Amino acid sequence: MAARVRFRRSAYSAVVKGKVASSGTLGLLVSLAAWFERMARTHDRGRRQRPRRVLSQRFERTRSRAMPQNRRRQNDPTARRIGVDWGTTHVRAWLLGAGGRVLDVRRDDRGMGRIAGDEAAFGAVYDTLVADWPDVPALACGMVGARQGWIEAPYVEVPTALIGLASRAVTVTSPKGRRLAILPGICQREPADVMRGEETKLVGLALEAPDVASSGFALLPGTHSKHAALEEGCVVHFRSVPTGELFDVLGQHSLLRFSLERDGAYDAIAFDDAVLEGATLRAGELTAALFNLRARSLLEAFSPAAARGRLSGLLIGAELALLDRERPIALVGSGGMIEPISRAFRVLGRPAPRVFDGDALVRRALAHLAALLEGADI
Amino acid sequence: MAARVRFRRSAYSAVVKGKVASSGTLGLLVSLAAWFERMARTHDRGRRQRPRRVLSQRFERTRSRAMPQNRRRQNDPTARRIGVDWGTTHVRAWLLGAGGRVLDVRRDDRGMGRIAGDEAAFGAVYDTLVADWPDVPALACGMVGARQGWIEAPYVEVPTALIGLASRAVTVTSPKGRRLAILPGICQREPADVMRGEETKLVGLALEAPDVASSGFALLPGTHSKHAALEEGCVVHFRSVPTGELFDVLGQHSLLRFSLERDGAYDAIAFDDAVLEGATLRAGELTAALFNLRARSLLEAFSPAAARGRLSGLLIGAELALLDRERPIALVGSGGMIEPISRAFRVLGRPAPRVFDGDALVRRALAHLAALLEGADI
């Protein structure tokens, strides 16, 4: 076991210390081979240990929920890392123990969007979030590293090794002297595309399902859905589809605002029909279908819940039609997104994707990458 | 000439008095035959008179602009009709003389959207608009006849004879005792669609270009573009494509608001490329192209004017791809819409459409239909 740990650390450290460029070097090939081999081993171990992992996850969830938010953990000897997911609309911080176990969690709604460009505000929010936690190695991902974030962590270009992202982290120091490493996003030149935050979920996915990372496809539905092709631990290509944003913007600001159910309830039959339709539409037909939806609510007994189901189905059907039918897909998401997407797969007669919890993947990735950065045991 | 006038009046009166149902009756066929015959005659006359018409339109425009807005015309003996175009965002009223000549014009920004459902407000706005005009027959079109308008003028279902719309007008009386007839909109059950206001432009088009009305296709670009197939003076089928609304909503409320030029300037090369691309995209590819546009403005030196051109081109290209390539098209619009649409036709290698001024068609249609309603000389 000791030998295996040493092997893993040396394989990683080659990547972490920046010996691996984003493409084309011998170093890359060597490290990728080591990384791939390691993933295969983790995969076997993961299979044997799956029942235990599921149990421990349940235990962690209970524990996290039961934990009083204001309990001071400044001297908690079990705390190992701090992981931060700082997006546009909110920020979450986890205090993590050995193996990425969640010891405590904090949340704030001062996402990057609210304090864009205000370095002092980022520092103050961070110091408040982690005030009563021990000063252990901390790593953040998401929009906090955008140009309008705390500090810019420039994009890494595809193709890029997922585990190599840690070596591109940029470090800030808070007003109270806390150091926080911030992960970069990933970009693609042709066609132009960017992601910030989702790449960390992909790192978690690579740790959780090495077979997917070696040759697979990840679908991360959301405001800006990401479709990522993975090969040998690298993101080789990706595409963003702003399905969630379109749904929100159309539902709130277009003529459809008068037709849509507000409380989120949707009619499953209308959804199913629309998924099939959306998957076959041309671009202009989708635009026309939006007006048709308004007209149906004027002319027919088309309920607001049916309208909501139909809009959601049209957009999701159109999005899923972009996916390669032959490739097995890992679906990475949280809460409410999983059910309609899984349903849409069934409606389209496609094999059910393997489902992974996005939040769990982020925590796992942050714990792992923070350890790499510090050169400590993982 | 007297005989011709009488023929025209009797042919119309059959329609106006409601003898013609929306479909399927012998009366419809008889009246359509008469209407079609009349159009053929008008067409020949129209050809001969075209140079004069163009000159008189120019004269009217000059006169209308030169007219002081507050000049009292209460006793103007040349005034024959009042035409009102009352849409969602604003209302315009024209005082019309013989042959639809514009004697005066009034405008107000209390469109249906601002006073929806408020009957008293509609009455007050109308009385103010026409206060110093003589009490001649008045006819309105547009959202003023919607459920949330002054009074509901229920939709007429396709296929429907354009000239027959006058018989479905609903009359209101203002607080000051003015009578105003309000035209219905048109609806279609399968696929569900509606229009209110555009049908009046189609009536004007039928008067202006009877050949288009007998077998043609009208494209009315705008917030909710309308594509209408016309046969023998009837609207037989139509489709709404909310291109303008999508452009506005995405530019103001989506992630694209950070990328788009605000002052309306657009890059023609980016527009042309995007028209070609938009015409070939699948629905999901259009969605993805929206994010790609944002990514280009983050990663490349992609200017706000280029972004504006690209968004406009993608949506217009997608819309025009829906049009039958073989059918000659009449393009009905005003001001800024005509140039980019005409440009997109050229980019797509399609024959240039014949262009008609939408406002002029509305005035002509309102003057004509108001005369029909009153049984007076046209």
Amino acid at residue number B229: A
Minimum Cα–Cα distance from A323: chain B residue: B284
Token readout for B82 is: 């009042």
Q: How confident is the model at residue B376 (pLDDT cuts 50, 70, 90)?
A: low
Place of tokens 């999005």: A319
pLDDT of B77 over the 50 cut? yes
pLDDT tens profile B108-138? 999 999 999 999 999 999 999 999 999 999 9
Backbone angles phi, psi at B100, to 5 degrees: 80, 15
pLDDT at site B71 = 60
Three-class DSSP category at A183: coil
Query: In 10 A of CB A157, how many CB atoms?
Result: 13
Cα distances (angstroms) measured from residue A118 to each of A115, A228, A370, B52: 6, 32, 25, 66
- Which of A241, A293, A310, A324 best probes binding to B when mutated, by most B CB atoms within 10 angstroms? A241
Could you tell me how many helices (H) and strands (E) chain A has, helices first?
A: 11, 15
Test B318 with A287 for CB contact under 8 angstroms: yes
Give one word for A297, left, alpha or beta, with left for phi > 0 and alpha for psi -120 to 50: alpha
Residue B321 is nearest to which of A249, A252, A284, comparing CB atoms?
A284
Phi-psi region of B323 (alpha: psi -120 to 50; beta: other; left: phi over 0): beta
Three-state DSSP state, A142: coil
For residue A200, give the 3-state DSSP assignment: helix
Q: Which of A127, A138, A152, A45 is nearest to A96 (CA)?
A: A138
| Domains of chain A (ranges, CATH numbers) | 9-212+359-374 (3.30.420.300), 240-357 (3.30.420.310)
Q: How confident is the model at residue B362 (pLDDT cuts 50, 70, 90)?
A: very high
| ipTM value | 0.81
A113 touches B: beta carbon within 8 Å: no
Residue of A273, A291, A299, A322 to mutate, testing the B interface (most B Cβ within 10 Å of its Cβ): A291
Decide if B291 and A241 are in contact by the 8 Å CB cutoff. Answer: yes
Mean pLDDT lowest among A105-109, B50-54, B249-253, B273-277 = B50-54
Which residue is associated with the tokens 């409606």?
Answer: A347
Residue B199 has pLDDT above 70, yes or no: yes
Task: Please check the confidence at residue B2 and state whether its pLDDT lies above 80.
Answer: no
B237 CB within 8 Å of a chain A CB? no
∠ Cα B227 B228 B232 (to 5°): 165
Is some CB atom of chain A closer than 8 A to the CB atom of B298? yes
Q: What is the pLDDT of residues A274-328, one digit of tens each?
A: 999 999 999 999 999 999 999 999 999 899 999 999 999 999 999 999 998 888 8
pLDDT over 70 (residue B39): no
Q: And the tokens for A173?
A: 């120091």
In whole angstroms, give the CA distance from residue A364 to residue A202.
11
Poorest-confidence range of B24-28, B91-95, B295-299, B359-363?
B24-28
Shortest distance between the Cα of A281 and any Cα of chain B, in A, equals 6
pLDDT in tens, B264-304: 888 999 999 999 999 999 999 999 999 999 999 999 989 99
What values do phi and psi take at B257, rounded to 5? -60, -20
Reduce the secondary structure of A349-360 to three states and give it as a string.
CCCCCEEEEHHH
Dist CA A174 CA A171 (whole Å): 10
Is B296 part of the contact surface with chain A (CB cutoff 8 Å)?
A: yes
CA dihedral sign of residues A352, A354, A359, A362: negative
For the segment B132-182, what is each residue's pLDDT rounded down to a tens digit? 999 999 999 999 999 999 999 999 999 999 999 999 999 999 999 999 999
In single-letter form, the type of residue at position A176 comes to K
CA distance A241 to A226: 6
CA-angle at B147, arms to B173 and B229, nearest 5°: 105
Helix (H, G, I), strand (E, B) or coil at B100: helix
**Could you say which residues of chain A have pLDDT below 50?**
1-69
The whole-number pLDDT of residue A16 equals 33
